[in-house]
C-alpha cells in the first residue's frame, strides 16, 4: 500500500509540474499578443506625504486584462516576460503610457504628479538603449525628468556592471529620481546607498505588516529611516493598511506611505477623482 501511494504521489507531482510548465508556455504566447492587442493598462497608487496627507506622487502598476483568464497579476506574468525578453517592450510601453498620462494630467489639471515606474533588472542588463528614446519622448512632451522616479531592487545593485551604472547615471542626469523597492528584503549591503545616487528607499511591506509598539519590526523601520535620513534619502513605507501602522511610521519620521489605508491602485478616472476632484486629501 505504501508503495502504491508513493507512486501515486510522484505521478501527481509530475502532472502538477507539467501543467505549471504548460501554463507558463501558454501565458508566454499570450503575452506577445497582449501588447499588439492593447490588453495592458496602468493603474496608479497614491503615495501620501505622512506629515500633511497630501499626494504629489503615485506608483504606476501594470495590469493585464486577459481575454479568457480575466485579470492576470504582474507577479505571475512579469517573471515570464523577463524570461522571454518581452519585458523590454512591455517596459517601453509602460514608460510611454505613464509619460503621456503625466502630460495629460498637466494639461487637464495644471499640476504635475511624480510617477514611479518599476524597472526590471532585465531592462537594465540588456544592451538596448531604449532609455535614450524615452528621453527624446519626454523632450517632445516638454516634460522634465523630475516628473518620474524609477523603482529598482537591491539585487540590481549587488552585481552592478558598468552598463548598469551608466544607465542609472543617465536617468539621474536628466533629473529622474531613483527609488530602491522592497528595501530590506534583499542582501542589504548598505555600501551601495552611498555608492549610487538613491533618492528614496521603499520599506518592504513585510516590515510594515506586523508593526506594533515595541515590536522588532518597528525597531527595524526606525533604524532604516534614521540611516536613510542621515544619507539624505527619503523613505516611503509600502503596504500601509491601518491607521496604527501609519501613526507609528509617522512618529518614526517616515516621509511617505503607500497602501490600502490611503488607496488601492486606481484607474486613471478614479485617481483623478481622488487626487484632484475630491478634497479627501489636500493637494497643496
Q: Which does 257 bind (CB under 5 to 8 A by kind): Mg ion, ligand C2E, none?
A: none
Quick one: which segment of 114-122, 126-134, 169-177, 274-282 binds ligand C2E (CB under 6 A)?
114-122
Place of cell 534583499: 186
Q: Which residue from 170, 178, 171, 172 is spatially nearest to 154, judged by alpha carbons? A: 178
The residues of the shown chain that bind Mg ion, judged by CB under 5 A, are: 118, 151, 172, 181-182, 197, 238
Shortest Å distance, C-beta 100 to Mg ion: 20
Could you tell me where the beta strands, DSSP code E, fall in the chain?
Answer: 40-49, 55-66, 70-72, 114-118, 148-153, 177-183, 200-203, 234-237, 256-257
* Residue 192: all three cell numbers together: 551601495
Q: Which does 46 bind (CB under 5 to 8 A by kind): ligand C2E, Mg ion, none?
A: none
Shortest Å distance, C-beta 82 to ligand C2E: 8
Q: Which does 272 bind (CB under 5 to 8 A by kind): Mg ion, ligand C2E, none?
A: none
φ, ψ (nearest 5 deg) of residue 118? -80, 130
Residues 227-246 that bind ligand C2E (CB under 6 A): 238-241
Radius of gyration for the alpha carbons in the chain, expressed in angstroms and rounded: 21
Under rule CB under 6 A, how many of the chain's residues touch ligand C2E? Answer: 24
Separation between Cα atoms, residue 107 and residue 105, nearest integer Å: 5
Closest to ligand C2E by CB, 86 vs 193, is 86
Residue pair 236/203 in contact (Cβ under 8 Å)? The answer is yes
Closest to Mg ion by CB, 30 vs 59, is 59
* Residue 32: all three cell numbers together: 506577445
Residues 150-189 that bind ligand C2E (CB under 6 A): 151, 181-182
Q: Which of 259, 271, 274, 275 binds ligand C2E (CB under 6 A)?
A: 259
Say whether 218 sits in a helix, a strand or coil: helix
Say whether 121 sits in a helix, a strand or coil: helix
Quick one: which segment of 9-17, 26-34, 74-82, 183-191 binds ligand C2E (CB under 6 A)?
74-82
HSE, CB side, 13 Å, CA atoms: give it for residue 245.
24
Separation between Cα atoms, residue 194 and residue 192, nearest integer Å: 5
Q: Which does 263 bind (CB under 5 to 8 A by kind): ligand C2E, Mg ion, none?
A: none
Residues 6+ apart with CB under 8 A from 243: 261
Tell whether residue 121 is a contact of ligand C2E (CB under 6 A). no
Do the bridges between strand 177-183 and strand 200-203 make them parallel or antiparallel, or are there none, so unpaired? parallel
Q: Which does 94 bind (CB under 5 to 8 A by kind): ligand C2E, Mg ion, none?
A: ligand C2E
Shortest Å distance, C-beta 118 to ligand C2E: 4
Shortest Å distance, C-beta 11 to ligand C2E: 34
Interacting residue ranges for ligand C2E, rule: CB under 6 A: 45, 61-62, 73-75, 78, 91, 94, 118-120, 151, 181-182, 205, 238-241, 258-260, 265
Amino acid at each position: 500500500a505504501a508503495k502504491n501511494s508513493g507512486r501515486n504521489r510522484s505521478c501527481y507531482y509530475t502532472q502538477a509540474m507539467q501543467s505549471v510548465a504548460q501554463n507558463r508556455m501558454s501565458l508566454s504566447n499570450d503575452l506577445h499578443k497582449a501588447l499588439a492587442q492593447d490588453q495592458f493598462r496602468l493603474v496608479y497608487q497614491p503615495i501620501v506625504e505622512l506629515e500633511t496627507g497630501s499626494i504629489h506622487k503615485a506608483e504606476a502598476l501594470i495590469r493585464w486584462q486577459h481575454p479568457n483568464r480575466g485579470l492576470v497579476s504582474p507577479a505571475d506574468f512579469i517573471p515570464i516576460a523577463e524570461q522571454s525578453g518581452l519585458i523590454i517592450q512591455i517596459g517601453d510601453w509602460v514608460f510611454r503610457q505613464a509619460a503621456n498620462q503625466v502630460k495629460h494630467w498637466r494639461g487637464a489639471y495644471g499640476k504635475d504628479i511624480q510617477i514611479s515606474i518599476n524597472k526590471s533588472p532585465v531592462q537594465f542588463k540588456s544592451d538596448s538603449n531604449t532609455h535614450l528614446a524615452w528621453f527624446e519622448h519626454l523632450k517632445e512632451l516638454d516634460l522634465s525628468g523630475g516628473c518620474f522616479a524609477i523603482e529598482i531592487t537591491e539585487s540590481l545593485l549587488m552585481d552592478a556592471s558598468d552598463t548598469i551604472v551608466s544607465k542609472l547615471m543617465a536617468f539621474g542626469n536628466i533629473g529622474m529620481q531613483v527609488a530602491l523597492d522592497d528595501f530590506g528584503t534583499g542582501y542589504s549591503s548598505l555600501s551601495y546607498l552611498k555608492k549610487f545616487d538613491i533618492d528614496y528607499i521603499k520599506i518592504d511591506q513585510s516590515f510594515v505588516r506586523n508593526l506594533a509598539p515595541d515590536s522588532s519590526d518597528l525597531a527595524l523601520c526606525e533604524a532604516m529611516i534614521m540611516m536613510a535620513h542621515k544619507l539624505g534619502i527619503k523613505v516611503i513605507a509600502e503596504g500601509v493598511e491601518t491607521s496604527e501602522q501609519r501613526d507609528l511610521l509617522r512618529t518614526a519620521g517616515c516621509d511617505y506611505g503607500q497602501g490600502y489605508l490611503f488607496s488601492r491602485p486606481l484607474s486613471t478616472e478614479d485617481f483623478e477623482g481622488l487626487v484632484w476632484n475630491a478634497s479627501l486629501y489636500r493637494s497643496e
